[in-house]
Chains A and B, each alone.
Chain A
């Protein structure tokens, strides 16, 4: 059974940093593109970042480029999102999501989400 379990969310002051983790199980982690998607309170879904199976290709939304860093440790089956220079508008539930084997076919498994609150 595929499982994705996010952790690392919490309350941080503007300008601060957090690192989110997503522990994956039930599939060959290194074979799949993984994404982070966020959802601000009461708002829609926003794709944040994606990383290829081997980690060699990385993509970001313009809203986080230069502040967030996606990475993965395939030996630990874990996806990460390092978030620096956090802004009030980064407050959201952050989901990690597994793409289908053809990454353009969408995200077929999602974690339960972890809440990041940015406030002074």
Chain B
């Protein structure tokens, strides 16, 4: 099975900062990788799919990139409402593995 490792596990950044979160796969995967944002006590929200396609309704400051084993979620200019935990997910085949999550705190 594919393993996804996110880094960092915790991130503290200021409003306006450019933030990057990494997701590394245990082997080469296709671009069927998604990113989700989850706020405390709430269900996750899809932000990015197919590694780089912005989900309808997601703010344009979010972007995704990568291929092979290395994928990145970037927030171009951090906003106060961007706090929460971010997860990547592998979707090319079952099981549909999630990364362990990156908790983002706003300084």
Give me the interface of A with B, judged by CB distance under 8 Å. 35, 37, 44-47, 50, 59, 61-62, 95, 100, 103-108, 110-113
Contact = CB atoms under 8 A, between A and B. Distances in A.
A62 B44 CA distance: 23
B13 interface: no
B46 to A, nearest CB: 5
Given A110-B44, A111-B43, A46 B49 contact: no
Contacts of A35: 96
8 contacts: A44-B101, A45-B38, A46-B98, A50-B96, A61-B95, A62-B1, A110-B44, A110-B45
A44 B43 contact: no
Contacts of B45: 110
B92 interface: yes
Contacts of A113: 43
Contacts of B36: 45, 106-107
A106 B46 contact: yes
Contact of A59 (B32, B34, B46, B95): B95
Given A44-B87, A108-B46, A108-B55, 9 more contacts: A44-B85, A44-B100, A45-B38, A47-B98, A59-B94, A100-B49, A104-B92, A106-B91, A107-B34
A34 B43 CA distance: 15
A107 B46 contact: yes
Given A106-B46, A108-B55, A62 B95 contact: yes
A59 B97 CA distance: 13
